[in-house]
Structure 1
């Protein structure tokens, strides 16, 4: 299989995928012959909608030479299916051939089909097949009206463009400058470089100042932490208020005092009795004799309920 045949078959597969049932292979050996049915509006195969929306239809027939598309273009013909006269066929054929020439050297059938369909869309009117003088005059009148409407639309567009305000023109100029960009010259580059270096120096100065502030703050935090640690260490060796009152730190032991009183009452052996000397008493608490005068150590006091600590 030559390269031309392979390329032609690939184009046929692409056309079939695009136009579906509207595309058909009339002759499947070289020279290939392909046919494509074309209408202004694609209705997806719905015949009733097609008759309603499409007043004209043609069939494009392309004969593919063996060396197409590299060395020559396709041989084209047009068959009228609905709503057109012979003069329209010649006009459509001219459009198709012009498009094929514009795509010389490359696959052109799809582009030709689109050009023909564009012509059909512009002329999708009822009664074009009527070639009588009256019908031709009516069509000519419609063509003139259509041409006049296009000219008026073009004039309105030009008038609107001329009436643009200065702000709109400036906005257009700004958008154009953004799209084009700023050309780089030695002068504007040096100006940019100077501004860039200045910004970098300011950024470096800010970073140095920030580091200095962070360093001073860390020193203050370190000194405060050291003082707190020293105070915590000093507090660790001190007894709590409860320990001082309950005798756990050696100041007074009420339980031991009660035990001594009970042993004295029961007359226990001197060896087993708890004596004052056995008590763990802080004598410094009793240096003030005036406070001892108010104490009454009668036996009845020992029977009283121990105060809650």
Structure 2
């Protein structure tokens, strides 16, 4: 007996102990490949009326199984399923066999198939009508969504467990910010007290700033008064312009022609000669006789 045959016999004994009469050896001749059958129901201990689906798994073991070869599987429908379901179950068998390559894998394959039967233990899977197929597709889609949600939740919990304490605290803080704080009488009073304290502190600081600003303003007042006594740039420029005009006028007077000065002096003398007051004219006495003589001469 080879090592492969010994391992196959030990696996057959284990399966018979687990599945009892649901396990059977179809071909046990060592000169030929071994063939085993395992009957699978969703619930092995319940009555047949509670199992709406059922299958029979038939495995053919190559001579070098399990170290160097994989088992060959076939599915026979016993209840409530269609050939499409049988194809799906064969795919599961292949996946599980490859996952356990090199070790006995028949029990693992049976458990994977039984889990599928438990999930699909409903009436009507063998109904091939369009309506029934649509209902089955919807149910399968909903189930996939639930599985994805569970997987995401599991990954989230795993990621949370792998985070450091600081990262968890930060995540919790973000969650609380997103949810907000419910407003109650107690929370409102606590917020009000804190708010009033903050406002009082701000007012006190503002008063201090105002006092400091007022003190700085008083200190800077003498400088402002000193600046008031100074001329602005415009005033200095205006004064310089006035002085410039006076200097120009003086320069013009200094450049007056000497002949013009002599004429002005002669004119002044002539004005003095003819400047006779009215009183001087009154002192002059003209005789009336002379006037009469003049009139007679005119008559002649």
User: Computing the radius of gyration over CA atoms, which structure comes out larger, 1 or 2?
Assistant: 2
TM-score by length of 1: 0.48
TM-score by length of 2: 0.49
